[in-house]
Amino acid sequence: MPRSSRLILASASPRRRELLGQLGIPFDVVVADVTEHEDPDTDPRAMVAHNAALKADWVAARFPDSVVLGADTTVFLDGMAINKPGDLEQARSMLRRLSGREHTVYTGVAVRRISIGLRIDQGVSSQVEFKPFGEAVIEEYVRLVNTLDKAGAYSIQEHTEMIVAGYRGSFSNIMGLPMEATKQILTGSVLLG
């Protein structure tokens, strides 16, 4: 149960916890008990916006005086969203698809504070280019990185040199929480001001 914190992160993601912690403000974590929409054929921007709002709304309804931050991230390639893999074989398959290609990472950010009617939704995108790599690199990567809890089956900050050729846009967005946009939203919501 959160203490009387002014900020709650509505996410189970350790990467989002780590990133939000960099702002130096106290926050609690409350994981929303929701079923996320993950249809790979859905527009990725709409999907992450929907899921971020779903998480933020669920938690905000229970803590109306707190500022609640929800976020959702997906990888987009060839007209399809690539979410978290269900097993290691799916992770390998995703990495094969991404090898030697450029893809887009979309994150939806939702901030709520019901007591004052605060409702902010924002989307951020970044581009990531993968090196071409084969089965040996894929096997080594899935051995070194927990690929099952990450959209696209990879982590931009872990063993980057093995798979990533470069990126454009927000690095923290690729990790799962665009810190530049998040800080701006939270500052605007008088949380950090």
- Say how far apart CA 13 and CA 31 lie, in whole Å: 9
**45 within 8 A of 108, measured Cβ to Cβ:** yes
- Say how far apart CA 189 and CA 23 lie, in whole Å: 15
Nearest to 154 by CA among 78, 80, 103: 103
Residue 124 φ/ψ, nearest 5 degrees: -135, 140
Residue 103 φ/ψ, nearest 5 degrees: -135, 170
Sign of CA dihedral 177, 183, 189, 193: positive
Catalytically annotated residues: 72
For the chain, how many residues are written?
Answer: 193
**114 within 8 A of 104, measured Cβ to Cβ:** no
Rg value, the chain, Cα:
17
- Say how far apart CA 175 and CA 56 lie, in whole Å: 19
- Say how far apart CA 16 and CA 117 lie, in whole Å: 24
